[in-house]
Amino acid sequence: MSDDVTNADRAQWAAEALAAYNDRAPRDVLSLSLAQRVRIGIEAAEAMARETRTNPAEQVVDNRETADELITDLMAYVFHLAFGRIIPDQLIRAAEEIRRPIPGTADTMRVLAAIEVDRVAAMLAALMDAAAAYGCDLAVMLANARGQFETDMAEEADERLSA
């Protein structure tokens, strides 16, 4: 990636991954099994990688290292995609609820749908499951993704002020 990548570019890469997710996921994402969420999460990360990496070998999630790198990147881009509608911590909490539905999760999905992030949260849940399936440290990945998102936002704000 070049140095002139914008946050809009990052959001677009997440949108491409979301399109791949939506192609595979049913309307009722709560009906997906863990195995299905893992598979679809990997497919979403690979869709993003095809947009951001030129080397085909770097576009595949096939081990812990590639899962950590690609999924963490996509998690950060997901925060860009949802920016202005929901903050990262709320999106993470929603994704955690989707991963382990409780009474009231359907209500949460309706609230997320009202702000047009229900599928974004569902994709994040799938990414979290995919990372866990590869033995990645999910807490570290989410912290790194959140930190990268915050850095990206601050750098772009600084560039606007300097212009």
Listed by start position, the domains of the chain span 7-157
Contact criterion met (CB below 8 Å) for 123 and 18: yes
pLDDT (tens digit per residue) in 30-89: 999 999 999 999 999 999 999 999 999 999 999 999 999 999 999 999 999 999 999 999
- How many helical (H) and strand (E) elements, i.e. helices and strands, does the chain have? 7, 0
Q: Mean pLDDT over residues 12-36, rounded?
A: 96
Residue 1 scores a pLDDT above 50: no
pLDDT (tens digit per residue) in 90-121: 999 999 999 998 888 999 999 999 999 999 99
* Among 30, 29, 26, CA closest to 103: 30
**Its pTM surpasses 0.85:** yes
